[in-house]
Amino acid sequence: MSERVIEVVAGVITDKRGRILLSRRTPSQDMAGLWEFPGGKREADESPEQALARELEEELGIQARIGAHVITVPQAYAHKRLRLDVREITGWQGTPKGREGQALTWVAPEMLARYSMPPADLPVVAALRRPDRYLVTPAPADDDGDEAWLRGLEAALVQGIRQVQVRLPGIAAARQARLLAAAATRCRRHGATVLFNGPVEMARDAGVGLHLASPVLRALSARPVPADVPLTASCHDDDELRMAAALGCDAVVLGHVRATPSHPGVPGIGWATFAQLRETCALPIYAIGGLTTDDIPLARQHGAQGIAAIRSLWGGE
């Protein structure tokens, strides 16, 4: 595979009804027939904003205003590597038309996942649809700490957390089940998704999703829950990312990016290695390891959906 990285830009164009514009790749292009966010290659003398404005005028016949960064996705294909820089389009003049013979369609955001896309575009859909924070709960402090733990969870939910991995190591099964049920009730009240890092039977009984620790992931040969039940996994390398994709995981957690107190003496993989691993996987990937909400823009620059964390996302004292 070539070491040269092709720089590509794309825009998220949203109409007044909230629909997003997709463009279909023509028979003369690689991955013909797949749908993608409109854009194209950036020339060496162009900024991303200049390149995207030019590409949208050439492809669609519009004069676009380039807005905020959405995500940058490094992606490796069989014979090339690219980096897809995606921006919001805050407005445009003209009527979008397929000037290069490509079909166009306006898609409601909740329908985007139904369209077949190149691997680099799939994380863009996730960036538009999924939460950018994934809370991993700490264990209750002691045998009498359940109420304080639930207050901490409630505080995190009030602060906007909408995806929670309930992790309760070293706790008796009956107490785990009780806390998981109470957590699920609170999360449903706030519209948050719950995934349990523990036995699949307990997750099923509580009516919540499942998170796979990496040893559990490595031991599985088939998806342990139905397709409509949320499934995520912890990954640390290429092999585990491939396993998660093969199982049909909905997202993964990858790290540790930085050294953390929970893994003393274990150095972080760093953002460069994170991005290299991101190239091999089209799933939404949450970066974990010493990160806070201030790191979300940096994480998005390296292809992450957002961050996963315990301390910086927990609502307790």
Closest CA relative to residue 193, chosen from 166, 159, 220: 166
Find out whether 121 and 37 touch, Cβ atoms under 8 Å.
yes
pLDDT digits (tens, 9 = 90+) for 83-134: 999 999 999 999 999 999 999 999 999 999 999 999 999 999 999 999 999 9
Sole residue written with tokens 């950036």:
42
In angstroms, the CA 155 to CA 146 distance is: 14
In angstroms, the CA 272 to CA 221 distance is: 30
The list of the chain residues with pLDDT below 70 reads: 1-2, 262-263, 316-317
Q: Report pLDDT for 317.
A: 46
Q: Report pLDDT for 141.
A: 84
B/e letters for 143-164, b = 16+ CB within 10 Å, e = fewer, are: eeebeebbebbbebbeeebbbb
Q: Report pLDDT for 263.
A: 67
Cis before 256 (ω within 30): yes
pTM of the model: 0.95
Q: Which two tokens stand for residue 9?
A: 């830009």
Q: Report pLDDT for 2.
A: 58
For residue 178, which phi and psi values (nearest 5 degrees)?
-65, -45
Q: Report pLDDT for 142.
A: 80
Paired strand residues for 184: none
Q: Report pLDDT for 260.
A: 77
